[in-house]
Chain A
Amino acid sequence: MSKIQSRRKFIRSITRYSLGFSLAALTGFSLGKATKSEWVWQIDPFKCTSCGRCATDCVLNPSAVKCVHAYDLCGYCDLCGGYLEPGHISRDTAAENQLCPTAAIERRFIEAPYYEYKIKEDLCIGCAKCVEGCTAFGNGSLHLQVRHNLCTNCNECAIARVCPSDAVIRVKAEVPYLIKGGFTPE
């Protein structure tokens, strides 16, 4: 009996050591591919095709993806492709003229002929309708970004899974935004 017991004990400890050793080896190999920095999800605005899935596929409702405005890229156009519905009746803030389904863009007169467009983030659902318009007819200053105050940083982003252009990428948490702009001459 005691012989069986000690044999069992021996086998158990041998297996334990080999499990421990392989776990250590696995950790070692993984360490070679690891970095200290944390990673967060972000949208590469140059890859984004404004398909609208950010609004529908985020685990949060409304989505953690919102439209942001790179002001230094904006032309401050009166006739804004991102703000106005195609075939709008007049160029004003009336609801029927707005492209945004939730009226999340605030249009403000600055000086003739310039208008400022500002995103009201609590209304924005990240549907990218304005992004599509701005990219097609304007400078593309309106674009989508993951808002890190909202994002739960899922292990696998549900939007990344369905993004048709692989625009949702992991970026280092130290540089969490990929905001367009920087078109000012050096």
Chain B
Amino acid sequence: MPEIIKTAGDSIRKNIFLLTGILLLLLFIVPGSASAQQQRFPMPEFQTGYELPDTDRPEPRAPGMEIFDLAVLVLVLAFTTWLVLKRRSRKLVFWTSVFALLYFGFYRNGCICPIGGVQNVSLALFGDGYILSLTVLAFFVIPLFVTLFAGRIFCASACPLGVIQDLVIIKPVKLPQWLQRTLGLIPFIFLGFAVLYAATGTTFIICRYDPFVGIFRMGASFSMAILGVSFLAAGIFVARPYCRFLCPYGAILRVFSIFSSRHMSITPEECINCKLCEDSCPFDAIDYPNDEKKNRATKADYRRFVFYSAAIPVLIIAGALAVSGSYKLLSKVHPDVYLANLLVEDPGMMYESDMTEIETFMASDRTLEMLVADATEVQSRFRRGGYYLGGFLGLLIGLSLTQQVTFRKRTIYEVNRGSCYSCGRCMEYCPVGKPDHPYHKEDNNNHS
């Protein structure tokens, strides 16, 4: 590289004599030459009437269009809420969701979405100097409020990531409950780490590992395409794998949905325990009536419940210490920490390495001390954030342990409010209030 610069430099130097001869004159003529000094070769004064072309500046999408996106989101959510709670039509929910997939997914390329918005909001709240756009905030908050009133409507029809998986459900298999419960913890863990990495200004891991955004853009890096295709392929058998076992926004929605004031129900009136809806849900989100004798808490269960509850504070403290203690490992993802680690370990790299990061750092006016100070600041953020994340994970494990030994009596088929996406598949199976339903015909035949 230095050789090339040298040869080119030489030839340019020869030419400089020629050029400066003509241009030096201009330099003195042009008033205010102080600013012109920054130019090695001043702008020529053309004799032929040549006019400077304008540098082309294609505009970004008109700012008002973001409001339009927001309006589409609100409309889709409102319409689906009505469809699910009042109209009870799976077909219309399906077509609304296809529209949302086309609009938010393929037309808007999947950005911005509430799932990624989690990170923008955390960075704005905990990081310094990050300015949030109101649209992003609205995208993040509106589905949450809707969920608090009507359940996971957003998952049913407005989320392009969910809908694209919903379309490929062909042969869903039932997963054993222990597997569902264990994998169901991943979204919460992912959420915790996503908030930590966003709040420390490191990176947006949710966006980085978004499997479907490459499909929406019709172009992705090889690893991203593999991830997306394998999620869709798995989704043929395990319905909505990303939503159930990875989506961090889904973790928040799950909690909000459990306590929602209204929610989609399988049956419009009283459940008649016909069992028709039993296998209708590909997401295993229907709770069956349980055998009271089998599912009654034993004395041992009571003791375990007390034990687990007492263990929660211990788990929280242990988690906080463990995650915070591994701040060095966690913070390595941050570019400053990574670079500082490299250079402190082997200062010789500063002059030998041809790594772009090191070359750029050496060319900048940042000293090693400044870099190390920045890296230490990032690390201390990870240490502080680690306490909260660890405590959160401890609480999560504690709560899921207590859930193992709590039982709730159920006499009818009900949706599990946390897991239900309000897609409405089960409503189609319910014969209640449908005189034309084959169930009733069979019933009549039996009687006659």
Contact = CB atoms under 8 A, between A and B. Distances in A.
Given A16-B261, A30-B121, A59-B221, A75 B39 contact: yes
B53 interface: yes
Interface string B218-232: 011100000000000
A36 B130 CA distance: 14
Interface in A107-154: 110-111, 113-114, 116, 118, 121, 133, 136-139, 147-149, 151-154
B307 interface: no
Given A152-B111, A155-B207, A185 B53 contact: no
Nearest to A53: B356
Contact of A148 (B30, B60, B116, B364): B60
Interface stretch (B90-98, B131-139, B182-190, B238-246): B131-139
A68 B56 contact: yes
Q: Interface size for chain B: under 10, 10 to 19, 20 to 34, or 35 or more residues?
A: 35 or more
Interface string A48-60: 0101010000011
A116 B46 CA distance: 12
Interface in A57-79: 59-61, 68-79
A35 B50 contact: no
A155 B43 CA distance: 39
Contacts of A153: 60-61, 111
A155 B119 contact: yes
B43 A75 contact: yes
Nearest to A151: B60
A38 B63 contact: yes
A13 B260 CA distance: 8
A50 B72 CA distance: 40
A12 B59 CA distance: 49
B109 A152 contact: yes
A34 B356 CA distance: 35
A40 B220 CA distance: 21
Contacts of A68: 55-56
A59 B219 contact: yes
Given A33-B124, A155-B112, A185-B33, A76 B44 contact: yes
Contacts of A152: 109, 111, 217
Given A118-B53, A156-B208, A177-B57, A37 B133 contact: yes
B342 interface: no
Given A116-B50, A156-B203, 20 more contacts: A15-B259, A30-B137, A34-B133, A39-B133, A49-B360, A59-B214, A61-B219, A72-B43, A72-B52, A75-B23, A81-B12, A86-B5, A87-B4, A111-B46, A137-B12, A139-B41, A148-B58, A151-B60, A156-B204, A177-B57
Question: 5 smallest A-B Cβ distances: which pairs?
Answer: A75-B41, A185-B32, A148-B60, A149-B58, A164-B360
Interface of A: 12-13, 15-16, 19-20, 23, 26-27, 29-31, 33-40, 49, 51, 53, 59-61, 68-79, 81, 86-87, 110-111, 113-114, 116, 118, 121, 133, 136-139, 147-149, 151-156, 161, 164-165, 170, 173-174, 176-177, 179, 181, 183-186
11 contacts: A33-B131, A38-B135, A71-B55, A74-B43, A75-B42, A81-B12, A114-B50, A139-B39, A151-B60, A155-B116, A155-B119
Interface of B: 4-5, 7-9, 11-12, 15, 18-19, 22-23, 30-33, 35-36, 38-44, 46-48, 50, 52-61, 63, 66, 109, 111-113, 116-117, 119-121, 124-125, 130-135, 137, 141, 144-145, 148, 203-204, 207-208, 213-214, 217, 219-221, 255-256, 259-261, 356-357, 359-361, 363-364
